[in-house]
Chain A
Amino acid sequence: MSSETKQILTTDGIPLEVSLKKAEKKNKIKAFLLVAPLLLFLIITYVFPIGEMFSRSIDDKMITNMLPKTFKEMEKWDGQELPPEEVFTAFYYDFKVLVDKQEHGKLGQRLNKEKNGFNSITKKLFRQVKRKKIDESTSIKEQIMKVHKRWRNVEYWQAIKRTAPPYTMSKYLKGMDMYYAADGSITQVEEDRRIHRILWLRTLEIAFFVTLFCFLMGYPIAHLLATLPMKYSNLLMICVLLPFWTSLLVRTASWMILLQQQGVVNDFFVLIGLVADDNRPEMMYNKVGTYVAMTQILLPFMVLPLYSVMKTISPSLMRAGKSLGGTPFVAFWKVYFPLTIPGIGAGCLLVFILAIGYYITPALVGGASGTLISNQIAFHMKQTLDWSFASAMGLMLLSGVLIIYWIYNKLVGVDNIKLG
């Protein structure tokens, strides 16, 4: 049937369908070429480095490269009893290479993390090798076992075998306060050393409550801004926008001044007789400071999406609700509130995402009990220089944020974000 229909041709004699497709393809390429510079730039400088964080976080190639012969021989060893002569011999030759390169110290330190006591026995072995005390013509196994009694302990050889894979999930386990036990099973650290789990929970708790406070404070004022006549609301809008545009550090600094023990807030409490002058409460360097400062700093991010949704709700809807016999409360709850839910979703998700990764404000006003997971990441990047652990923690945080971002995208759509 279709073959009998005469194809529509353009003036060049090409079928219209083909010509149209060609034009569309050209437009597609044109649009893509406009996006390409930024996309490429971001992929090279941003997306790849985040991927590199992943490979860094699971990387454990150091020992794999240090003891190649040993691990090759160990493949044949069942790991139950002391390894055979070949493993000892291979280990001895690997170790000799490391001694020549002066890298035996690194090996000892790394193995010590796997099992305590490795550092001293590698040093002992190093001295023997250095003084050429080990006779390569007879059994090397016997000689190594004589260096220290721990070399006769099968647990130490099992620990070496565990470091064979070039990749490890141990950093991620550490981030959740777990580790690989001697038999390779996943174990929890002792109760009083579970610091990371406390931090994760605290981060979630603070992000949740900051979001809640922002919602409770932001909803009334967004409503007021949306219902007041333009000339008043524009003036009040400045109260929301000025903090929004002001430097984060300036706002944190002002909270540090307000909340200190001799600060204005405490002065006010003393003045109204809430607290005694000699018993001023500590409001900074703890959770209170983090809550107060973060709520004020993130409040505009709640108000602006709420406002833009409320602005579109016609006031006649509330009047209709009331005229149909609803009290103002019923009219609000049944008519107005459901219409603002998209704004609530957008605002809450935005504030939660921002709060969960907050770093500067908690670091300055949070003290020890008000710091978040970001502060821990920064600590490992700068102080302990355990970059692979910082990467692992960062990616754990990132995966949480990406899940929320995905929900946000489904509910609100990233292209619906409004600014100012």
Chain B
Amino acid sequence: MALPSYTETRYRIWHYIYIAICTFVFFFLIAPLFVIFPLSFNAEEFLVFSEGMKNLDPDAFSLRWYKDMIYGTKNPWGLAAKNSFIIAIFATIGSIILGTLAALGLSSRHMPYKGIIMATLISPMIVPLIISGVAIFFFMAKVGLAATHTGIVLAHIILGTPFVVITVTATLSGFDHSVTRAAASLGSNPVNTFMKITLPLILPGVISGGLFAFVTSFDEVVVVLFLAGLENTTIPIQMWTGLREQLSPTILAVATCLIILSTLILISAELLRRRSERLRGINR
């Protein structure tokens, strides 16, 4: 953002203030994530930078909290991680199937009552989680699914589908419907057309919606707090309990792993977004 040489001094000053503000905001956004990394290698059990760490003394750093995370006695993280992944994977699959079907229907121009139906399908994203939590808990308790994996998976499908509906509808908005008609006119049945033509074209949208659903489920704590029993503990539940009760650096080791995971997800989401933008560019 170089300024042209004829810029007056006062605008020059304003420009630098603007850059300074932006730098501060970017720092504010990203810096908190980086405080986790060094502290997770702390040799002591306090969540502050020790004198040794400030002097970069190698003895002040250790992997003990990572060891504790993996091998620790009465270790809750193994079970929590297993549960989190199982629940998130099934919730993602459910969200993708229901959400994609709904998005296909919604982007048809024959769809009746589009506005109100769309608003209903998106509502779990808008309604405060605490209210969703209470409502879903009442339902699951009534049908006897509280404190079961099935109940949590169903709850996360509710929360995850809006993301799939939104991303797939967005992808379908640039979709050229004449290709499916061409397939039909060449004698392909609807299922075949969907699998061979539509799905490959909207796949980036489906996968990025699926990523959102996965992260929503993997990170969800409010609803699970109502639904989970001891057997259904998840990573967010363990972190929540840890942050409320005994604040140990093991949590930071877990948090570091989660940041790495979210970086991977961010990279795949970005790649997908670019790919789908490219595809849409071709369609136009």
Contact = CB atoms under 8 A, between A and B. Distances in A.
Contacts of B165: 38
Given A49-B135, A241-B266, A220 B33 contact: no
Nearest to A240: B29
Contacts of A409: 115, 119
Interface stretch (B63-71, B75-83, B214-222): B214-222
A341 B21 CA distance: 21
Contact of B128 (A218, A228, A252, A401): A401
Given A42-B121, A217-B28, A360-B222, A35 B106 contact: yes
B219 A35 contact: no
Contact of B1 (A228, A240, A405): A228
A220 B129 contact: no
A165 interface: no
A381 B146 CA distance: 15
Contacts of B30: 239, 242-243
A300 B99 CA distance: 24
A1 interface: no
A357 B121 CA distance: 19
Nearest to A53: B135
B259 A246 contact: yes
A47 B161 CA distance: 15
Given A34-B101, A414-B122, A239 B29 contact: yes
A369 B20 CA distance: 33
Nearest to B208: A420
A304 to B, nearest CB: 12
A37 B111 contact: no
Contact of A357 (B129, B212, B221, B247): B129
A31 B108 contact: yes
A41 B126 contact: no
A39 B119 contact: no
Contacts of A356: 128
B219 A248 contact: yes
Interface in B114-165: 115, 117-124, 126-132, 134-139, 154-155, 157-158, 161, 163, 165
B273 interface: yes
A121 B177 CA distance: 76
B28 A262 contact: no
B166 A260 contact: no
Given A397-B131, A414-B119, A415-B169, A328 B11 contact: yes
A262 B46 CA distance: 10
A41 B212 CA distance: 20
Contact of A246 (B167, B243, B258): B258
Contacts, number: 263
Contacts of A363: 244
Given A228-B1, A238-B266, A360-B221, A419 B102 contact: no
A357 B130 contact: yes
Interface in A250-265: 250-258, 260, 262-264
Nearest to A365: B243
A296 B18 CA distance: 19
A263 B247 CA distance: 14
Interface in B198-228: 208, 212, 215, 218-219, 221-222, 225-226
A35 B111 contact: yes
Given A364-B244, A420-B269, A49 B32 contact: no
Interface string A99-134: 000000000000000000000000000000000000
B262 A242 contact: yes
Given A243-B30, A394-B131, A249 B108 contact: no
A35 B117 contact: yes
A39 to B, nearest CB: 6
A24 interface: yes
B16 interface: no
A371 interface: no
Nearest to A228: B1
B221 to A, nearest CB: 6
Contact of B108 (A27, A37, A218, A358): A27
A245 B136 contact: no
Interface in A34-55: 34-39, 41-50, 52-53
B239 A46 contact: no
Given A49-B136, A246-B259, A299-B29, 11 more contacts: A32-B111, A33-B105, A35-B105, A35-B117, A45-B154, A245-B215, A245-B263, A247-B262, A256-B247, A377-B130, A394-B134
Interface of B: 1, 11, 14, 18, 21-22, 25-26, 28-30, 32-33, 35-36, 39, 47-49, 98-99, 101-102, 104-106, 108, 110-112, 115, 117-124, 126-132, 134-139, 154-155, 157-158, 161, 163, 165-167, 169-170, 208, 212, 215, 218-219, 221-222, 225-226, 236, 239-240, 243-244, 247, 251-252, 255, 258-259, 262-263, 265-266, 269-270, 273
- Pick the 10 closest A-B CB pairs, nearest first: A357-B128, A34-B105, A35-B105, A31-B108, A49-B135, A27-B110, A49-B139, A38-B102, A254-B32, A374-B130
19 contacts: A28-B112, A31-B105, A33-B105, A34-B105, A38-B165, A42-B123, A48-B139, A53-B131, A221-B26, A227-B1, A239-B30, A257-B35, A257-B48, A258-B35, A353-B126, A381-B137, A391-B134, A398-B131, A405-B119
